[in-house]
């Protein structure tokens, strides 16, 4: 999956609906952008309506209050995964393919519109209890499925045996969201002469490499581990045979 980014040098398509005639969707998009930039308290409904190109009463026709709009933004964002993850896991033909598809979609979802990641970070800090309830409802079901696949990979010898599935999934969600949310400032460590787009591409590639290499056992490592296990079994068998011969001699 990481190689596909290298090969094509591609960037994920923007999420903004350039020909959006769906007013509620446009409201959700602009609310996401403004809430992420200014926070919930720092954004007015009039500002959101103005960004969409409608009047405030028209916005209230679709969303009866500012808090209802905020909740709808979060529900809309998180419910996306309940539909997507089962489809990705079912479509892929192997455990590694499943992981690649899920990682690609997750990274793509947030890099296509970094305001999504910024808003989740803001809300997690400002309203942890409410975000926790949303995570339980929208993230927990598919996270449990991913953990089952990780355990299956461990049983098959493809996944590092010391990986804690639940902790791994939580850390990867946090890594992706926080990495995308803070990239504007972290990306400033780019060497001179490297364009922002190139550094962003490298940033995504490294994120994916870290996520994948910390989970899967590489074929070379698996082969080396198999040889070491064989040698250890041979040494143990030799010691046991020696003990048996000693007992027989007595």
Strand boundaries in the chain, DSSP class E:
none
168-172 average pLDDT score = 94
Q: pLDDT band at 3, cuts 50/70/90?
A: very low
Same structural domain for residues 213 and 183?
A: yes
- How far, CA to CA in Å, does 55 sit from each of 44, 50, 58, 65, 71? 12, 7, 5, 14, 21
Query: Residues 210-249: pLDDT tens digits?
Result: 999 999 998 765 554 555 544 555 565 556 665 666 566 5
| Per-residue confidence (pLDDT) for residue 40, from 0 to 100 | 95
Q: Of 100 and 230, which is predicted with more confidence?
A: 100
Same structural domain for residues 13 and 54?
A: yes
Same structural domain for residues 236 and 114?
A: no
Task: Give the domain CATH number at 130.
Answer: 1.10.357.10
Average per-residue pLDDT for the chain: 82
Q: How far apart are CA 33 and CA 27, in angstroms?
A: 10
| Per-residue confidence (pLDDT) for residue 198, from 0 to 100 | 87
Domains identified in the chain, total number: 2
Three-state secondary structure readout of 139-194: HHHHHHHHHHHHHHHHHCCCECCCCCHHHHHHHHHHHHHHHHHCHHHHHHHCCCCC
Query: Residues 141-155: pLDDT tens digits?
Result: 888 988 998 999 999
| Per-residue confidence (pLDDT) for residue 242, from 0 to 100 | 58
Assess whether pLDDT exceeds 50 at residue 64: yes
| Per-residue confidence (pLDDT) for residue 145, from 0 to 100 | 87
Query: Residues 7-52: pLDDT tens digits?
Result: 333 333 444 444 445 999 999 999 999 999 999 999 999 999 999 9
Domain enclosing residue 121, as ranges = 2-217
| Per-residue confidence (pLDDT) for residue 195, from 0 to 100 | 84
Same structural domain for residues 227 and 178?
A: no
Which pTM was predicted? 0.76
73-81 average pLDDT score = 89
| Per-residue confidence (pLDDT) for residue 141, from 0 to 100 | 87
């Amino acid at each position: 999956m990481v190689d596909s980014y290298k090969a094509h040098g591609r960037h994920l398509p923007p999420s903004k609906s350039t020909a959006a005639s769906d007013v509620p969707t446009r409201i959700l998009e602009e609310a996401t952008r403004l809430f992420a930039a200014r926070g919930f308290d720092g954004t007015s409904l009039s500002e959101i309506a103005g960004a969409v190109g409608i009047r405030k009463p028209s916005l209230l026709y679709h969303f009866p209050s500012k808090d209802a709009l905020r909740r709808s933004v979060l529900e809309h964002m998180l419910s996306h995964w309940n539909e997507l993850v089962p489809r990705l896991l079912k479509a892929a033909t192997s455990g590694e393919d499943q992981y690649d598809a899920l990682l690609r979609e997750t990274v793509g979802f947030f890099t296509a519109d970094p305001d999504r990641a910024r808003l989740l970070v803001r809300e997690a800090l400002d309203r942890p209890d409410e975000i926790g309830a949303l995570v339980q409802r929208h993230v927990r079901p598919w996270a449990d499925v991913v953990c089952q696949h990780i355990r299956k990979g461990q049983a098959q010898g493809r996944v590092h045996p010391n990986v804690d599935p639940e902790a791994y999934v939580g850390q990867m969600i946090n890594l992706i969201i926080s990495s995308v949310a803070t990239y504007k400032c972290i990306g400033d460590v780019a060497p001179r002469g490297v364009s922002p787009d190139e550094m962003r591409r490298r940033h995504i590639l490294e994120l994916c490499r870290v996520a994948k290499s910390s989970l899967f056992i590489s074929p070379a490592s698996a082969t080396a581990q198999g040889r070491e296990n064989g040698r250890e079994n041979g040494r143990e068998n030799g010691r046991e045979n020696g003990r048996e011969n000693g007992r027989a001699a007595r």
